[in-house]
Chain A
Amino acid sequence: MIEIKKLSRSFGNLLAVDNLDLDVGNEIFGLLGPNGAGKSTTVMMLTTLLRPSSGTAKVCGYDIVKDSKKVRSKISYVPQDMAVDRKLTGRENVMLFAKLYGIPNRNSKVDEVIEMMGLSDRAGDLVAKYSGGMRRRLELAQALVHEPEVLFLDEPTLGLDVSGRKKIWEHIRMLKAEGMTIFMTTHYLEEAEKYCNRVAIIDKGRIAAVGSPENLVSSIGENASLNDVFLEKVKTPEEQAGFNSTQFRNLLRRR
């Protein structure tokens, strides 16, 4: 569904994404990495919001630069900002997207996706009265109204409580079961381990590891978790500079 070939993007001197190669099939794919690793930049290039500096990528067979409009007709993008209109009702928020996408029979389609996200009884309320979890589900409803083939989610569970996160994941699983491809970024590695079919860990714009969570974990050792894989593959600046914590502690003790 997504083929990324030598994709790069720089901002001035900063190389945010560096020669990225990646293939994503019909799966739940998680893009993991520390803050500033290039996750959002990658998603923004794939959703045609940012032009790559070099390299190419195809989404649903369409080039993200040359056929960007066709790409946009096949995908939905939910950024991490929780951008829903507080002064509109839940239903009006979804209806706006249905209108912009030009959905036929939009009344029934809007009701259907609202129902699917479990928001039917609150659909007539202003979004200002919604909880964080409900707003996130409302964004999913907006994204689903035109039945995209690929759904891009940037930090979909960020800032939600445990039950809110669980609900979002259940919905993501359900969408996958219906044949949708989900490409997402997250910081919650336990969730990625549990729900993603495959993950890629990126660091400083490069792929540090890619594979199914089980395979990545077992390559590290028994009783390991995706957290261990992450810490193994992603070096903090201190580690790279050769920071030795034992030495540092001894130094402090001597004073």
Chain B
Amino acid sequence: MKAVFYYFERDLVKWLRGRVTVVSSLVMPAAWLVFVGLALPTKFTDNYLEFITPGILVMTTLFSSLQGGSLMIFDKILGFLNKFLAMPSPRESMLYGKILFISVRGLLQASVILLIATVLGVRVLNPISVLLIYLTLFLFSVFFSALSTMIGLYLGDHDSYAAVNSMISMPLFFTSTALMPYDVMPAWLRTLASLNPVSYAIDSTRLLFEGTIPVYGILGLATGAGIMVLLGTYQFRKAVV
């Protein structure tokens, strides 16, 4: 268990020292929040910023998680993976350290976005909601960072990984409830959105902003995250023998 934390710590320190990447990953979600959230004229709500904030929070963690798979690829290509695997600490702790780091990184980025939203006037009702928003985002991040690490290990090279990543990230975002509620969607989009795991996270987060606790949403995300971690562990074991 301690090894998981040490691997996590390694990635965190390295990330925080790469100043450009820390800031650059925040620019896009912030731009969505300001340029779309504050500017888009909508009919279904008179406070679009408030509506879009949960979607942008989830988007921040989604993109962060999807990028995370490249970490495992680089560790593999550059020879770190072999050095770590030749050590007696449990081999999976390397995988769990990665998932933990990618998820925590997503939460740190989401915190900045939440701060910006608060400055722009978005309010959360109580501290428990804030806590549960973090839990929701964390579970969601674990789900997607386990998935992206699996894809990364499977593909094994960075170029194809980046291609897959850019192929799935925007469609996942646009077919979710990030930008509009189910009832204003065309029927075909509504079907896609109700199947999209990203919508689950957004809907739960949105309910929390309104002051309701989405028990089933959180339980669903927890189950999904658990299953993805199990699948990831299975694939990691197979990949490293």
Which residue of the partner chain A has the closest CB to B5? A99
CB distance from B95 to the nearest CB of A (A): 14
Q: What size tier do the contact residues of chain B reach?
A: 20 to 34
Q: Does A49 contact B (CB under 8 A)?
A: yes
Q: Are A83 and B78 in contact (CB under 8 A)?
A: yes
B84's partner among A70, A82, A100, A102 (CB-CB below 8 A) is A100
Q: Are B88 and A49 in contact (CB under 8 A)?
A: no
CA distance A165 to B137 in the complex (A): 51
Q: Does B43 contact A (CB under 8 A)?
A: no
Q: Are B17 and A87 in contact (CB under 8 A)?
A: yes
Which residue of the partner chain B has the closest CB to A93? B10
Q: Are B79 and A81 in contact (CB under 8 A)?
A: yes
Which residue of the partner chain A has the closest CB to B3? A100
CB distance from A41 to the nearest CB of B (A): 13
Complex interface residues of chain A between 44 and 90 (CB less than 8 A to chain B): 44, 47-51, 69-70, 72-73, 75-83, 85, 87-88
Contact A101/B89 with A49-B82, A79-B79, A83-B83 known, Cβ cut-off 8 Å: yes
B86's partner among A49, A85, A92 (CB-CB below 8 A) is A49
For the A-B complex, the count of residue pairs with Cβ-Cβ distances under 8 Å equals 67
Q: Are B10 and A79 in contact (CB under 8 A)?
A: no
CB contacts (< 8 Å) of B83 on chain A: these are: 77-79, 83, 142
Which residue of the partner chain A has the closest CB to B90? A69
Contact A50/B10 with A81-B79, A99-B2, A101-B88 known, Cβ cut-off 8 Å: no
CA distance A220 to B174 in the complex (A): 73
Contact A99/B6 with A49-B85, A51-B241 known, Cβ cut-off 8 Å: yes
Contact A72/B6 with A51-B241, A77-B83, A83-B79 known, Cβ cut-off 8 Å: no
Which residue of the partner chain B has the closest CB to A95? B6
A87's partner among B3, B18, B86 (CB-CB below 8 A) is B18
CB contacts (< 8 Å) of B14 on chain A: these are: 85, 87-88
CB contacts (< 8 Å) of B18 on chain A: these are: 87
Contact A102/B86 with A79-B79, A85-B10, A87-B14 known, Cβ cut-off 8 Å: no
Identify the 8 closest CB pairs spanning chains A and B, nearest first.
A81-B79, A83-B79, A77-B86, A73-B88, A72-B88, A87-B14, A99-B6, A83-B80
Given contacts A87-B14, A100-B89, 14 further A-B contacts (CB under 8 A): A48-B85, A49-B82, A50-B241, A51-B241, A69-B88, A78-B83, A80-B79, A83-B80, A83-B83, A96-B9, A96-B10, A97-B87, A101-B89, A102-B2
Q: Could you write out 11 A-B pairs with CB less than 8 Å apart?
A: A48-B86, A49-B82, A78-B83, A82-B79, A87-B14, A87-B18, A88-B14, A92-B13, A100-B3, A101-B88, A102-B2
- Which residues from chain A sit less than 8 Å from chain B, CB to CB? 44, 47-51, 69-70, 72-73, 75-83, 85, 87-88, 92, 96-97, 99-102, 142, 152
